[in-house]
Structure 1
Amino acid sequence: MNPTPEKAFPVSWDQFHRDARALAWRLSGAGPFSAIVCITRGGLVPAAVVCRELEIRVIETVCVASYHDYRTQGTTAVLKGIAADLPGVEAGGAGILLIDDLVDTGKTASIVREMLPKAHFATVYAKPMGRPLVDTFVTEVSQDTWIYFPWDLGLSFQPPISGRSG
């Protein structure tokens, strides 16, 4: 279980798109990749951006659940595995690009790494505990930061960082 994060890092759609394109830029010299495996649900959006930018047409998902109430990690469960006929699976993931939005504690990353140990693993954001499991990322945030992704947000007042108002 993670302690309650103390810092908030809200990410807008524009910022996330820029960060996902920056990830694609960093990955452009790391391929070629025969397929993308995105870790759902968070990996779906960056995978859409990366597959467009790198012109990758074969997309697969692996469905792993670890956050059950949006704030705390619980038991990690694989809900859907990776298709056995995906090119590169038989070779341990060689030529496959794994994509997720964030590596946090590394629980999910460890499970997927076991499935495809030779795949190139990329995330948009990385926290220190999970960072060693990722090959490429764009932005590192502290372990006690909670990232608010644009698909989880609505428009509302945001209190000042200092906690004081008025």
Structure 2
Amino acid sequence: MNDRLPHEKGFHVSWDQIHRDARALAWRLDGKGPDGGGWRAVVGIARGGLVPAMIVSRELDIRVVDTISVKSYDHQEQRPAVVTKSPQADLMGDGTGILVVDDLVDSGKTLELVRRLYPQAHFATVYAKPAGRPQVDTFVTEVSQDTWIFFPWDMALQYVQPFRGRD
């Protein structure tokens, strides 16, 4: 019998790990852009995609960086995705040559919304869950659908009860 709460199947990501994984994402994207392998810009999906977008833009020497803000979670509860801030319209066009980066594709609803807006963009995430994989073009690590990823920007150090019983 499994007496764990759903969030206890957690994948804890440190700052070092997100940095390594975002660099690995950049390596996979290097030379894959439409203009002789280059990208016109990186667009990070706020908020989770901002850290990997910055790392990818640095690694690939892409100086044009913008953001799109999409809200699809209320704490750990998923809601319908809504754009709350759009990137610069004259930069985006239909998305050709644009690299859209997020930390994770979960259900795929966020990327589905952004893909409708910019159908020719290339969508890349550091982590992917099976339900969202069809919405992402490039990713680094797949995790199971029932895994909750704990990112370093959401965490604080504190005591945690042992997995089974007490000391």
- Decide: shared fold, TM above 0.5: yes
Structure 2 distance, partners of 1:163, 1:15, is 27
For residue 82 of structure 2, what is the aligned residue in structure 1? 77
Query: 2:89 aligns to what SS in structure 1?
Result: coil
Q: Distance in 1 between matches of 2:63 and 2:105?
A: 24
Structure 1 counterpart of 2:118, one-letter code: L
Gaps of 5+ in 1: none
Partner Cα distance (2:165, 2:127) in 1: 28
Amino acid at match of 2:66: E
Distance 1:159 1:50 in 2: 36
Displacement after TM superposition at 1:98 (Å): 0.4
- With normalisation by structure 1, the TM-score equals 0.90
Task: State the 1:29 CA deviation.
Answer: 2.6
Say how many residue pairs are matched: 159
In structure 2, relative to structure 1, the CA distance for the partners of 1:159 and 1:17 (3 Å cut) is farther
What's the % identity of the aligned pairs?
60
Match of 1:85, SS?
Answer: helix
Alignment of 1:1-166 (within 5 A): 4-5=6-7, 7-31=9-33, 32-68=38-74, 70-86=75-91, 89-90=92-93, 92-160=94-162, 162-166=163-167
User: Cα deviation per residue 1:106-153 (whole Å; 9 max; x = unaligned)?
Assistant: 110100001111111000000000011101000000000000000001
Deviation sequence 1:33-65 (CA, Å, 0-9, x none): 000111100110001100000000001111100
Provide the aligned C-alpha RMSD in A.
Answer: 1.6
The question of whether the paired residues in 2 share the 8 Å contact of 1:66 and 1:74 is answered with: yes
Q: Which runs of 5+ in 2 are unaligned?
A: none
Q: Aligned partners of 1:115 and 1:135: how far apart in 2? A: 16
| 1:163–1:30 Cα change, 3 Å | farther
CA contact (8 A) 1:125 1:138 kept: yes
